[in-house]
Amino acid sequence: MPTTATRNILVTSALPYANGAIHLGHLLEYIQTDIWVRFQKSRGQQCYYVCADDAHGTAIMLRAEQENITAEALIERVSQDHQTDFARFGVGFDNYHSTHSAENRYFSEMIYKRLRDKGHIATRDIEQMFDPQKACS
């Protein structure tokens, strides 16, 4: 019987937004992905399932203001809720963090710099809405 080389597989799902609860649509994706990752691991593959709470954006800032708490407090509470929900449904991540984590910053910067240094990053100016009062508070 021919032997096959072990594959290194990195898997993620869409990042849940850190301003609300996990819903059925989220769970469907995470459960299906978890099953596929477990299958790969059962076949002897090196398969890692990583994910994080998406902790950036106006919706988080606005919800935190409505609740009269900091964005960081909201992000932390929602992350704990998300991880509890995932555990209740048996979804097992090899690594779960926040887009605010030091780990995420390190790897994002490393990947960006490597791509930039090899000429794979293009830059251009864009216009978008911006509230300088909120940005400075």
Q: Which domains does the chain have, with CATH numbers?
A: 8-118 (3.40.50.620)
Query: What local confidence, expressed as pLDDT, does residue 119 receive?
Result: 95
Length of the chain measured in residues: 137
Kindly give, in sequence order, each residue whose CB lies less than 8 Å from that of residue 72, ignoring residues fewer than 6 positions away. 100
Token pair recorded at residue 89: 């449904």
Query: What local confidence, expressed as pLDDT, does residue 137 receive?
Result: 53
Query: What local confidence, expressed as pLDDT, does residue 47 receive?
Result: 97
CA distance 102 to 79: 16
- pLDDT tens string, the chain, 137 residues long: the values are 555 789 999 999 999 999 999 999 999 999 999 999 999 999 999 999 999 999 988 899 999 999 999 999 999 999 999 999 999 999 999 999 999 889 888 988 998 999 999 999 998 999 988 777 776 55
Token pair recorded at residue 1: 């019987």
**Beta strands at 95-98 and 46-53: parallel, antiparallel or unpaired:** parallel
Token pair recorded at residue 28: 């469907």
pTM of the predicted model, to two decimals? Answer: 0.77
CA torsion sign for 126, 132, 136, 137 is: negative
pLDDT for 37-75, tens place per residue? 999 999 999 999 999 999 988 899 999 999 999 999 999
Query: What local confidence, expressed as pLDDT, does residue 64 receive?
Result: 95
Query: What local confidence, expressed as pLDDT, does residue 107 receive?
Result: 86
